[in-house]
Structure 1
């Protein structure tokens, strides 16, 4: 009997399954042990591969990275993913900013005295640190130059930069015109804003000129308000375009008769801030202060939504400010009374309004203030800053809205008279404390933290009530936190800040830029060449990357440039640098400027060496007057002209020597008119030379080439007779006289007597140059003879001068140069006179001529 095969098969199957399960479990246990060992090994390897910095404790690494600047931190984040995750923490950037800017190092819990100067402009500390570092670097290292343009020929202190950051609205002090310009290029758009109605060409009499104005803008919408001399207000709204469409076509709205002021409006300004919940940042309200002693708040439709009660002191208001976020209005009267209205019914008509009144402690209680002498700064948070021109101190009024009290404090610190003030309030994501900057006439800038408490001066505080003025007793004093010297000299005239840097301008036209936190100098802009009539920097606008200033009659613009990186991007670098041709352009520009300067210098009239008083004093010392000096100058000029015309030597003339030694003249081209001369003297062997009528023309008679008169033998050539009047007398010159021959006795007489002048027109006798003095050969000193004295100093000289001197010609066999010189000299000075003058100047002139003639004769 056989057994069933199924029973054997089931048993074998169970054994196989059991062995297989045991084998699988053994394999699983070995795999688990291997994976755990591999994970442990990988962790050890990764730990070994980490850098030394990554293995530092977190506190130590934070201490190290706090000393790094943004470029180094950015490079560190690109090293590994671990550092990228580490630098994603905003605390690391905050500690680095505090250590490098404020000086607060990690693990040192101390407070920095410059902490209140840090103004948050970004939402995170990482962005704050990066933006601040880039901005300061660009302001410091940019090589760009400023540009300037002239919207008007008068100063333009009112500047408003539009939201695009490129266009600018500029207006003079009286706001008669508002121009749109592009300060970076100097372009001035056609047309201007004026207080005119639609399609009205010129403003009316009450609006020409307006008393005040203000500008506000948002996106491409501009709103300008004007105040008239009769108490009306006007609002003009326009869309800003880049075309040349005249801006006077913008629609305008004028106040009604019921809402107008009853007197001239002294001040008009937009609401300083708007509520944070508002949809538009454009202000919808503005405030005015007028001579009728009232303050009005208006909307953009020129409707007066609130009118204040009359002034407490019965005087007119000269300044007013309004803040819509806290709903507080402040005004200052002509007598120095400060009135603060808390919660006026502008938007909320159901609220209760309160009033606080205080007086400015003026040195002269009878002084009357004006809007040009009063500076008002309104901090909506808690205080009012006022300063009156020529007053020693500025004053701070703190108002308490809970107790309804006001407290006055003296602002001390400026070394000289206060010339500029600026209030910086919080505009970032955090509520930073307000900062006050005051500049004085000695170029010192004082910086105050308004959140800091004041130092009490008395034990008893001042008690005030809402309905009575504050009796200011100077209870507290406020000292500056920092004081720096911004310029070498010159009073500070304008201050502006953007939270990162602040700019300071002085009366010399110099603008200095400073780091707003570290208080280190960043840049200096010298615009002193634009100062006109002593007017330096008037207004400053300091933006993130540009600076706009009103200097004299010009508007100055400066913008930061792009800094070149040390590392070029891969695949985007070029062989030619980006500044190609820049140095050549600067070189050519320098050459053109130098040429223009040289041309201007050459055209410039040379300065007068002597003044008129000195010249007249010199003439009086010589015994002359102005007319006598002019007569002598004209006489000398006529003699020189006559001598040049008579003794002109042509190039075609040659002087050969005759066989007998006589010098003869041969002229191949005789184009001049010839006239026979007088017969020669009995002695034909004498050499006669011509002496010029003026001793200063004697240089033409040199020793190598003696003067060659135009003569051929016995024929003398002379220019035709030209009768012309003397420039200083009424007589005409005599005609050319006949040639007078000299004798032997005349040659030996070195200083012959001078013949009297012959005023007859037809006379042919020669006249000497100087009359009134007789000399001799043996006595070279001139001895004046007696005679009548003429009316003027040089009258005798002028009347005795002729058109050309006489000369005689002859031949002398074997004549020497000395003899020729003596003959030439005696022919010049021969003659006598019977009418001498007693004049020392004439004697001196004659003595000079004689000495010069003697020197010429010796040379010959």
Structure 2
């Protein structure tokens, strides 16, 4: 969509490969299409008979009353159309159609094309960028970057700069551009991750700085390129609370005293305004919610006085550029159907989103492309009373009554059709979100494990490593000290006097010894309150060498369990048999025998 003089408009359709001419404010559509087949608009205006299905790219421009069109084809060919007096309704337009030479065309499909003054720039699937003059003739071709494809191109020929975005997300900048030597700088994609979406959705040039936006990313990037040092400075802007950026409108200043702004629309229906020159301020200086229903912003336009926004549901809004106050709302121009849509109607339904918004240079007109339709608005004086009068018989007021009884059903069906595109977009996001989970499950299936078995396997390995570390750790010698019994009160008869360093644990002490605690996790062992009293004879018999190991200093891993401190005997005649395990050491067996002897002596005294 491109404006023409006298409020004319030319619009293109890639599906049919045609360009139409119209006056939206009068509803007049001129006969004959400017097509990519070279008919020159001499047809009758039937797109079913006048179409070119192999068109892959189209760019519109104008030079006064002359319409300029550059076509890109799937076979790599580039063609140009120039129509003098294109908006002359009195006669058919005399259009001149020219194809490029065979040796100058791309070796792959033409993916993008733009106008820059009188020159055109094209990007192809062969990874090349071509610059064309008005002849048309190819005056410069970049080197081949296959198998990577060039999907988007931007140019500032007044600054002698051309930039291209590749399918991999990398950015390539050339300067100067011409038949002489050209300096090239490659900028790698700043987005990392195998599952990240690196598709470039927007590419703009501001002097020697580039503005790049990526699909499904809440950030946009600024690349300051210095050709004298072959260096690139990267800065990023964005607010994750606003959601992924779906459209971007930069307003770069032409004068040093002016300020450059970047306006972004997000997936959550919000708008953010950023200061382009302030690299340290990565958050928006102003942000607001443009659509309360959460419809994503798909189109933006700003002329210093008015800010226009369009959403995925076809609603267009105008805001005051200074106060961000809502001025007016336009509903979608796509009419509601009069019958319940069938499955075929749902599949063939046009996309209801706002595709493009153009604000006129006079700051009074606006053109909005919604789906396959165009809506035009022109500001004017408001009549007295604040609204237009309704035609009718004098003295009688004509009131608009409610809609038909099927209005609610039709509205619900239309909402379903409009939501289909949003559901497809959400499904695409969900597929990427669950991609990593699917890859993880596929990896587990190759191992023959499910998620639970994989977790159990990891825990088993962790336990085995911990046990191996415990087995390799040297034993720690521990003794019994007076401080170990300070915190546990016990009767006087059951208290133990501090033994000299040369004494070993008593038989009863060895019998009731708990399992050796870990020096990092458990506190020192303490004597329970019901600890039985000791006899002096048994204590004297328990004397051993000062260098003998204590029963507590021997690890009990893999041996028979020892009664815990809370365990008590049923009677004094109970027998405690030592374990038959061959790994039991002599010190522990000797301690158990002494405890049995002590128990028998006490029973004899009774």
- Determine if the TM-score, normalized by the shorter chain, exceeds 0.5: yes
> Which residue of 341, 355, 363 corresponds with 1:538?
355
1:375 and 2:201 equivalent?
A: yes
SS at 1:523 equivalent: strand
Superposition map of 1:29-68 within 5 A: none
SS at 2:104 equivalent: coil
Residue 229 of structure 1: how far off its partner (Å): 1.4
Q: Which residue of 2 aligns with 1:423?
A: 250
Cα 1:402/1:190, change in 2 over 3 Å: same
Residue 401 of structure 1: how far off its partner (Å): 3.9
- Aligned residues of 1:231 and 1:265 also touching (Cα < 8 A): yes
Q: Which residue of 2 aligns with 1:250?
A: 95
- Aligned residues of 1:189 and 1:244 also touching (Cα < 8 A): no
- Aligned residues of 1:530 and 1:554 also touching (Cα < 8 A): no
Superposition map of 1:347-746 within 5 A: 349=179, 352-365=181-194, 373-414=199-240, 415-426=242-253, 432-454=258-280, 478-489=282-293, 490-527=295-332, 530=335, 535-543=352-360, 544-563=363-382, 582-585=389-392
More helix by percentage: 1
Q: Which residue of 2 aligns with 1:295?
A: 129
Q: Which residue of 2 aligns with 1:340?
A: 173
- Aligned residues of 2:350 and 2:372 also touching (Cα < 8 A): no
Cα 1:376/1:552, change in 2 over 3 Å: closer
- Aligned residues of 1:326 and 1:380 also touching (Cα < 8 A): no
Residue 365 of structure 1: how far off its partner (Å): 3.9
> Which residue of 119, 138, 147 corresponds with 1:304?
138
Take 1:441 and 1:589, find their aligned partners in 2: how far apart are those partners? 48
CA offsets 1:748-806 (integer angstroms, 9 cap, x no match): xxxxxxxxxxxxxxxxxxxxxxxxxxxxxxxxxxxxxxxxxxxxxxxxxxxxxxxxxxx
1:262 and 2:137 equivalent?
A: no
Q: Which residue of 1 aligns with 2:119?
A: 285
- Aligned residues of 1:341 and 1:353 also touching (Cα < 8 A): yes
1:329 and 2:134 equivalent?
A: no
Residue 344 of structure 1: how far off its partner (Å): 0.9
Q: Which residue of 2 aligns with 1:639?
A: none
Q: Which residue of 2 aligns with 1:223?
A: 68
SS at 1:250 equivalent: strand
Take 2:80 and 2:393, find their aligned partners in 1: how far apart are those partners? 48
Take 1:219 and 1:545, find their aligned partners in 2: how far apart are those partners? 20
Take 1:488 and 1:587, find their aligned partners in 2: how far apart are those partners? 42
- Aligned residues of 2:263 and 2:271 also touching (Cα < 8 A): yes
Cα 1:599/1:336, change in 2 over 3 Å: closer
- Aligned residues of 2:10 and 2:19 also touching (Cα < 8 A): yes
Take 2:393 and 2:291, find their aligned partners in 1: how far apart are those partners? 29
- Aligned residues of 2:9 and 2:23 also touching (Cα < 8 A): yes
Take 1:580 and 1:424, find their aligned partners in 2: how far apart are those partners? 35
> Which residue of 41, 45, 54 corresponds with 1:209?
54
SS at 2:323 equivalent: coil
CA offsets 1:100-150 (integer angstroms, 9 cap, x no match): xxxxxxxxxxxxxxxxxxxxxxxxxxxxxxxxxxxxxxxxxxxxxxxxxxx
Take 1:587 and 1:344, find their aligned partners in 2: how far apart are those partners? 70
- Aligned residues of 2:81 and 2:97 also touching (Cα < 8 A): yes
Take 2:201 and 2:388, find their aligned partners in 1: how far apart are those partners? 50
The structure having more radius of gyration, on CA atoms, is 1
Take 1:497 and 1:503, find their aligned partners in 2: how far apart are those partners? 6
Residue 589 of structure 1: how far off its partner (Å): 12
How many residues of Structure 1 are paired with residues of Structure 2 in the alignment? Answer: 388
SS at 1:258 equivalent: helix
CA offsets 1:476-509 (integer angstroms, 9 cap, x no match): xx22111112221211111101121110111222
- Aligned residues of 1:174 and 1:213 also touching (Cα < 8 A): no
Take 1:580 and 1:318, find their aligned partners in 2: how far apart are those partners? 48
Cα 1:206/1:221, change in 2 over 3 Å: closer
Residue 304 of structure 1: how far off its partner (Å): 0.6
Residue 241 of structure 1: how far off its partner (Å): 3.7
Superposition map of 1:810-849 within 5 A: none
SS at 1:362 equivalent: coil
SS at 1:211 equivalent: strand
Take 1:257 and 1:191, find their aligned partners in 2: how far apart are those partners? 29
Cα 1:585/1:550, change in 2 over 3 Å: farther
More strand by percentage: 2
Take 1:178 and 1:422, find their aligned partners in 2: how far apart are those partners? 25
Q: Which residue of 2 aligns with 1:186?
A: 27
Residue 188 of structure 1: how far off its partner (Å): 1.1
- Aligned residues of 1:160 and 1:168 also touching (Cα < 8 A): yes
Take 1:451 and 1:442, find their aligned partners in 2: how far apart are those partners? 26
Cα 1:242/1:206, change in 2 over 3 Å: closer
Cα 1:422/1:581, change in 2 over 3 Å: closer
Q: Which protein, 1 or 2, shows the higher relative CO under an 8 Å CA cutoff with sep ≥ 6?
A: 1
The alignment yields a C-alpha RMSD, in angstroms, of 3.5
Deviates further, 191-200 or 543-552: 191-200
Residue 207 of structure 1: how far off its partner (Å): 4.9
TM-score under structure 2 length normalisation: 0.58
Take 2:76 and 2:169, find their aligned partners in 1: how far apart are those partners? 22
Take 1:207 and 1:183, find their aligned partners in 2: how far apart are those partners? 25
Take 1:584 and 1:204, find their aligned partners in 2: how far apart are those partners? 42
Take 1:589 and 1:383, find their aligned partners in 2: how far apart are those partners? 64
Q: Which residue of 1 aligns with 2:8?
A: 167
Take 2:355 and 2:393, find their aligned partners in 1: how far apart are those partners? 31
- Aligned residues of 2:358 and 2:368 also touching (Cα < 8 A): yes
Take 2:135 and 2:53, find their aligned partners in 1: how far apart are those partners? 22
Take 1:327 and 1:545, find their aligned partners in 2: how far apart are those partners? 34
SS at 1:191 equivalent: coil
CA offsets 1:806-856 (integer angstroms, 9 cap, x no match): xxxxxxxxxxxxxxxxxxxxxxxxxxxxxxxxxxxxxxxxxxxxxxxxxxx
Take 1:228 and 1:586, find their aligned partners in 2: how far apart are those partners? 58
- Aligned residues of 1:163 and 1:218 also touching (Cα < 8 A): no
Take 1:229 and 1:533, find their aligned partners in 2: how far apart are those partners? 24
Residue 443 of structure 1: how far off its partner (Å): 1.6
Residue 399 of structure 1: how far off its partner (Å): 1.4
Cα 1:394/1:588, change in 2 over 3 Å: farther
For structure 1, the 5+ residue unaligned runs are: 1-158, 272-282, 456-477, 565-576, 608-860
